[in-house]
Chain A
Amino acid sequence: MSGTGAAGECRPSLARGLWALTYRELKKWLKDPVTLVMFVLQPLIWMGLLGKSLNIGGLFSANIISLPPQVPIPGDAILHPPGLQGVVLNGEALARMFADMGPGIMKGAFGVADYFSFMAVGIVSMIVVTTTMFSGMSIVWDRRLGFLDKVMSTPVSRAAIIFAKILNATLRAMFQATVILALAYLLGLQLSPTFTPLNLLGVYAAIFLLSVGLSSIFIAFSIRSTRIERPMHFVGLITMPLMFSSNAFFPTRLMPSWMQAVASVNPLTYLTDAIRQLTILPLDATALLWDFTYLGLFAAALATIGIVLSWRCLTR
């Protein structure tokens, strides 16, 4: 160290600060592989056990419906041709017909013939939500351990502090989603014929939008709490209702109307639908456009509110 330097050499920039703080988060994350694995493990168990055990497609199979070899149909059940006393049907053939209708019913309800593919995408949405919120929570630790104070004593842009947290949450969510999607594929997720690897870019864009909105608001909330318990309970409280009041596990069309109303404003519904459109469903461009519009508006609104609130807290 020689002499006291000129202040002119300090050129704090938003980009440099943002990069440095995000790099720190990612380094911390990679240095803790146990947590990393734990985070993937939970949704994997959900997907593997729930997704595979809830074999809804199996409801429509020939051996589920037990019919006698001969099924008599009384005359009054027959309208045409008139005047028949009754007929006897081949039970085996009838059961086969029922089973043949299965995929049609499944497609009608879920859009795909197998429930596993449907719910695996729901699990991807779930991990996006939990990862985003848990990552935002780290700001409570930064504050408690004095790290935030240290950062605040440097001339780094206050915006960089907030953006780094949002970016970190978003990058983690994208990474975890990739892992889950890959695992789902290995476990038997059926891709639609309209799927191309380029569609993955769309998947990331959708995750990015939801993650930015959600983390902005969650960081604004966490930055004000002095203890980690508060945001933690909040995540625990909100995750389940958010999941089940969306189309993540079950089509909203079959839900009671009040729940359909909730689902229609739940951003998770749009994220899940967007990912399904891009992976397992035959792509419906109009639906996808609508999904992205909603996610875009959600991200813009929540990011604005969240960033303003965090900014106020940091520059007070």
Chain B
Amino acid sequence: MAGEVIRAENLTKVFNRGLVAVDHVSFSVGEGEVFGLLGPNGAGKTTTINMLITALKPTEGTATVLGYDVVKQANEVRKVIGVVPQEYTADEDLTGYENIILCADLYGIPRDVARRRALELLELVELTDFKDKRVETYSGGMRRRLELACGLINRPKVLFLDEPTLGLDVQTRAATWEYIRRLKREYGMTIFMTTHYLEEADALCDRVAIMDRGKIVVTGAPSELKDGLGGDVITVAIKEDVDVTSIISSVESVKDVRKEGGTYRIKAEDGEATAPLIMEALRRRGYTVTRLSLAKPTLNEVYLEYTGRAIRDVEESKESFIARRMTLRRARGR
């Protein structure tokens, strides 16, 4: 890892109503890295990013971005970072071009440079044909791309993306991933993103920190985390209502068995070879296997391992998600 770009130490945010959104979180992000904060809605990801981009003051702990303290040198931080928020924040009454120029003015970028760069960025996010149309007429994907262009106007050294593909269709999501990869590849930009999509973290991030209920439970490269689980996961269910844990664990190359209700979660090195052995062992004792599945570990298994819950179980219905968002927004006081 080259130079350290972001450093957070014991970062904590307690909202007025006693809600501990972020609870003593520490991590560091290296230069040129794509770092992902992964976790379900309400885990504290947005609050963490808001502290790093100086939108919120931490209750406790410190954070620096490129060596600047996010509280004491907030204005220096703001100059060198780019922010692409979760919401569509562009002014709907203005055109895409006008929005980017407005951002440039807020950063104090010289006029001629701003004009040239705005056109380049519109080209990058493929909005050149729509630059003089009001944002009101843009689709969700176009708005997201415009947000990205606005976030890049000051040529940030660090780009913060809050749920960059939330609510986007598969195609637009893939395109967004491509932009992010390009930024890293061509400009060596350090990217800090939050997401609750496991595939996204897996596909884009060099390293992820898994966040649950305000705490970081584990940090590492996705492949490292998956390997750390100790192999593949085999899930088995039998017809009989008997505990067969000891039979399964006696099979060679089975590393761990956990009974969860009527099913057994088995960790094994070489899943493809082990699964038939387990089935055979159970059948020999006269048990009937009703279900068997084999999973290569994904970040969901990693999440499950560290929090005891599947990330998808934590996903809420749309209504409760919106209700929770509103509560959080109010708690954040903005």
Contact = CB atoms under 8 A, between A and B. Distances in A.
A is bound by B: yes
A143 B89 CA distance: 10
Categorize the interface residue count of chain B.
Answer: 35 or more
Interface string B39-61: 00000000000000111010000
A1 B89 contact: no
A146 B120 CA distance: 25
B83 A153 contact: yes
A229 B117 CA distance: 40
29 contacts: A1-B120, A1-B121, A4-B155, A4-B156, A4-B188, A4-B189, A5-B154, A5-B155, A7-B76, A10-B107, A10-B108, A10-B109, A12-B107, A13-B108, A17-B105, A24-B91, A24-B94, A27-B94, A28-B93, A28-B94, A150-B103, A150-B150, A151-B106, A153-B53, A154-B154, A155-B79, A155-B107, A316-B57, A316-B333
A57 B186 CA distance: 79
A152 B334 CA distance: 11
Interface in A135-182: 143, 145-156
Max count, chain A CB within 10 A of own CB: residue among B106, B120, B121: B106
Interface in A190-236: 226
Contacts of A156: 106-108
B154 A147 contact: no
Contacts of A31: 93
Interface in B167-200: 187-189
B296 interface: no
A11 interface: yes
A78 interface: no
Interface in A1-29: 1, 3-5, 7, 9-13, 16-17, 19-21, 24, 27-28
Given A7-B76, A21-B102, 20 more contacts: A1-B152, A3-B155, A16-B105, A17-B106, A17-B108, A20-B106, A24-B91, A24-B94, A27-B93, A145-B89, A146-B88, A147-B90, A149-B55, A150-B89, A150-B90, A153-B53, A153-B83, A154-B107, A156-B107, A226-B330
A316 B189 CA distance: 30
B124 A1 contact: yes
A148 to B, nearest CB: 8
Contacts of A12: 79, 106-108
B110 interface: yes
Given A145-B89, A146-B85, A150-B89, A9 B109 contact: yes
A137 B159 CA distance: 32
Given A153-B55, A226-B330, A19 B105 contact: yes
A24 B102 contact: yes
B108 A155 contact: yes
Interface in B71-105: 75-76, 78-81, 83, 85, 87-94, 98, 102-103, 105
A151 B89 CA distance: 9
Nearest to A13: B108
B78 A154 contact: yes
A21 B104 CA distance: 11
A151 B152 CA distance: 14
Categorize the interface residue count of chain A.
Answer: 35 or more
Interface of A: 1, 3-5, 7, 9-13, 16-17, 19-21, 24, 27-28, 31-32, 143, 145-156, 226, 316
Contacts of B53: 153
Contacts of A3: 155, 187
B113 A143 contact: no
Interface string B245-267: 00000000000000000000000
B334 A149 contact: yes
A7 B154 CA distance: 8
Contacts of B121: 1
Contacts of B117: 1
Nearest to B156: A4
Contacts of A32: 93
